[in-house]
Amino acid sequence: MTVSTITTAPIPGQKPGTSGLRKKVTVFQQAHYLENFVQSIFDTVPELNGGVLVLGGDGRYYNRVAVQTILKMAAANGVVRVLVGQGGFLSTPAASCVIRKYHATGGIILSASHNPGGADGDFGIKYNIDNGGPAPEKITDAIYARTQALLEYRISDQANIPLEKKGSYTLESMLVEVIDPVADYAELMQKIFDFDAIRAWFAQGHRMHFDAMSAISGPYAKQIFEGMLGAAPGTVVNGEPLEDFGGHHPDPNPAHATDLIRIMALPDAPELGAASDGDADRNMIVGRNFLVSPSDSLAIMAANAALIPAYKAGISGVARSMPTSRAADLVAKALDVPCYETPTGWKFFGNLLDAGRATLCGEESYGSGSNHVREKDGVWAVLFWLNLLAITGKSVNGIVTEHWARFGRHYYSRHDYEALDVGIANALMAHLREQLAGLAGQCFGAYCVAMADDFAYDDPVDGSRTANQGVRVLFENGARVVYRLSGTGTEGATLRVYLELFEGNSAQHAVPVQEMLAELIVIAGDLAQIAMRTGRKEPDVIA
């Protein structure tokens, strides 16, 4: 058993995106690819030498191989203790929970989130800091810079750790603790929610349908919903994590969670439908034949937070990503708390949460969370809705329509154009930016532009500035169109177009979303010349 220093060379393109480094599995399987990136983490974060590391992932293809490699590199780079999930499993929110509970130096999370899995699918890796949240850009930029200068990495030749069995092991001089991936997270959930009320709700015969999409949320959902709260066996479907997610695209939205949508439209549908994604940090909430938009879900959580035990004293503020609808803004105003608008990426919420400026956070891409961890959290969000149903005795549909009656409805949709040629996508965004100075005052039918810009964020906690975060076009009637290129894909570029229109008249709240937004959709396409530049007449995904 020895530690070897392996000669390598910089590998181009190892720049982390919105949530870490994501590439095809076949890319990660290239010689030195994973090792170079991991060594760059250890070189960039010297505190890991002598520190404690949390490690685990969503169980997708290559997860087990990567875990063993990282353990051997951690031992070779001076880490004294690693907490790793049994089987290599650890959901993203659970990893954040474990980092925080055990005061770890940081964590390495292996996931490509909602991206497809399997041998031909995607893989990902990211570093989370000691608060449990994704590393800020100053660290990810430094990791990338190190990958471009790296000439060697260190690794142990010791045999693999038996990950299937909980217990303590030694790798070189490093302690490896294989832990129950669910226990610490489940303990935290019991401190937040009224489990007795939810248990009574299920005992009364109420039902839920949770689709884990053959991803990592399955073990958490089974233990908490069925085991601890008494939901009927079979409430959780597709509950076993599979390396290829059973062929599912583990993205909880209407385009991919089609079975859930079908079941919730049946005459005898359960009261609550829900789904989570590959690494369990996203959520989808569905009532009976009624889809709750993520933007509305965040606003409703904020409006009703005082009903939840952990938030009964009130919330300090709300934070949302810039493309997320402004529904939460109106709730924050009514509660007399601030609402922060940040760039896309959960790492931007960390400072606000740590400083006590925000309690609840959310993104339009089916993610929401609170100050209990520093990641978005799918199972937490479902528990929040279960707690609301149990305490109020209302239906999902009733809670949402009552919210619209009070605050108005923000009609909202996201149109994704996937796997675009990168050059074409960049040229489209450049074309939009060239128009910004002259857009104010222009009218497109009934829509007159009040303001247009390229969003920049000034962090109120540390003063850092993050620019070029998406083109915003705001209209005088309160409508918005936002354009940005996603940082979560692995092939080509994904153009995301976000459309929002506020309607205060309750009589109009039953109009279908795409019908209400029809004119704005045409304007958005024309402004960006989407069809002409991409050749796409329709988006690939409407969420």
Instruction: Answer for the pair 222, 379: CB distance below 8 angstroms, yes or no.
Output: no
Structural element, H or E, at residue 269: none
- Beta-sheet pairing, 367-370 with 447-454: unpaired
Catalytic residue of the set 113, 214, 293, 295: 113
Residues paired with residue 236 on neighbouring β-strands, in sequence order: 210
Nearest alpha carbon to residue 13 among 22, 4, 5: 22
Angle of helix 183-192 relative to helix 92-101, nearest 10 degrees? 80
Instruction: Answer for the pair 335, 304: CB distance below 8 angstroms, yes or no.
Output: no
**Pairwise CA distance, residues 321 & 458, whole Å:** 13
Instruction: Answer for the pair 115, 277: CB distance below 8 angstroms, yes or no.
Output: no
Angle of helix 422-439 relative to helix 518-528, nearest 10 degrees? 100
Q: Is 165 exposed, middle or buried (0-12, 13-18, 19+ CB in 10 A)?
A: exposed
- Provide DSSP, 117-166: -STTSEEEEEEE-TTSSBPPHHHHHHHHHHHTT--EEEEE-PPPP-TTS-
* CA-based torsion, 79, 85, 89, 93: positive or negative: negative
Return the residue matching tokens 């829900």.
274
Residue type, 422: V
> How far is Cα of residue 347 from the mean position of the Cα atoms in its chain?
10
Q: Nearest 5°: phi and psi at 74? A: -60, -45
Based on its alpha-carbon atoms, the radius of gyration of the chain, rounded to whole angstroms, reads: 23
Q: Is 541 helix (H, G, I), strand (E, B) or coil?
A: strand
For 375, residues 6+ apart whose C-beta sits below 8 A from its C-beta are: 92, 93, 95, 96, 128, 132, 133, 134, 281, 346, 369
Q: Is 325 a catalytic residue?
A: no
Sheet bearing 318-321, strands edge to edge: 339-342, 318-321, 360-363, 367-370
List for the chain the helix, strand, coil content (%; round to 5): 35, 25, 40
Catalytic residues: 113
